[in-house]
Structure 1
């Protein structure tokens, strides 16, 4: 029994250490980060996501900073049923650039870290949570739907360093008319 407890403690320690090496953007500025962002890259290796990889399109999000330091993120995604929007509510933590949110899909709180951004062009964002297994997703956001090759390469290198296989690192094509021209 003691060996099992030690093994579980070691696994938990190793997994938490793996995430602690990720730090948020130095001197993160929420006001500069707010605004329109396109998700132009995604690294995600969930087996349930594999059938959807070829159908993924770049999506549009609008980050709205709240007076209390929290964030509302409204995302529009092109789906087979049409353009759908969803709003996420991110709560600030005591570390600027790190947030938590409640995932209704997984019924748990997840961590969001803005790892790197220059505010005017791109942002690398890590979503992380440990449950049945370590759940990690890396997203590349751009102020436009097309980013420079060196930024795309930076995203791919970061995702590879996080352990994502090449086929799980995606840069989907732009969505057409999502959101519709009168929205967002």
Structure 2
């Protein structure tokens, strides 16, 4: 019992160090961030993600600002012959734009950069049964990410230790997936290898803009629902082997 508690404490101490250098969008505005987002690209060292990334499709996040700086987020994932839905409460943790989602095992969620009108780069640090993983998601207001959005995503994910082979550009309905755009290295930085395109299955869950504000209760927990399969639960809550290195973000 003592060894289990000690391991838990060590995980939390290690994690708090790993988060320290990930920034949050200055003066984050939850109301401007609200509305419909498409998740158009992802990078992660999560074992579940890595095993399925070549078959993933574009999903959506419908965000509503709640009381106390919390967010209510409705997620929809193409799954089999239809959609699977998850409602999650993103609870404010410190600064505006910094959250945690205990029921999903999200220890740390940060809106690292956004212009509110076209894109957002979202950092997620997860834990499940003591295993840690990092994820970076690119949100877009449309199914086509802008060059500015792609550059922000590509500039950020390497700073948290995610290489190009852990990246996927998610396809929209009926279209082949595009390869990740070539990265433009900073002065003195070696160019990185381009990410190859991945296989496609058609988008089975049409995504539609959601008019008006969403009436999800602020600070709500997560409702996975009885129809949510164990595989999707594993993906949303997914875990991976802890990374051993601490990566600092450079400017």
Give, in whole Å, the separation in 1 of the partners of 2:52 and 2:11.
31
TM-score (norm. length: structure 2)? 0.61
Q: Which runs of 5 or more structure 1 residues have no equivalent in the other structure? A: 1-8
Q: Which region of structure 1 is more displaced relative to structure 2, 138-147 or 169-178?
A: 169-178
Q: What is the rounded CA distance, in whole Å, between the counterparts of 2:22 and 2:209 in structure 1?
A: 38
Cα pair 1:60 1:178 within 8 Å, conserved: no
Partner of residue 62, structure 1:
62
1:22-81 per-position Cα deviation (integer Å, ceiling 9, x unaligned)? 121000011101111001111112223223111111111100111332111001111124
1:152 matched to which residue of 2? 150
Matches within 5 A, 1:8-87: 15-87=15-87
Q: 8 Å contact 2:120–2:139 — kept in the other structure?
A: yes
SS of residue paired to 1:103: helix
Do the aligned residues in 2 keep the contact of 1:76 with 1:179 (CA within 8 Å)?
no
Q: How many residue pairs are counted as aligned between the two chains?
A: 174
After superposition, the CA RMSD in angstroms is 2.6
Structure 1 residue matching 2:156: 3-state secondary structure: helix
**TM-score w.r.t. structure 1 length?**
0.82
Secondary structure (helix, strand or coil) at the match of 2:68 reads coil
Q: Which runs of 5+ in 2 are unaligned?
A: 1-8, 174-202, 212-251
Larger strand proportion, structure 1 or 2? Answer: 1
- Pick closer, same or farther for the CA change 1:148–1:183 going to 2, 3 Å: closer
Shift of 1:157: 2.4
> Quick check: 30-39 or 123-132, which moved more?
123-132
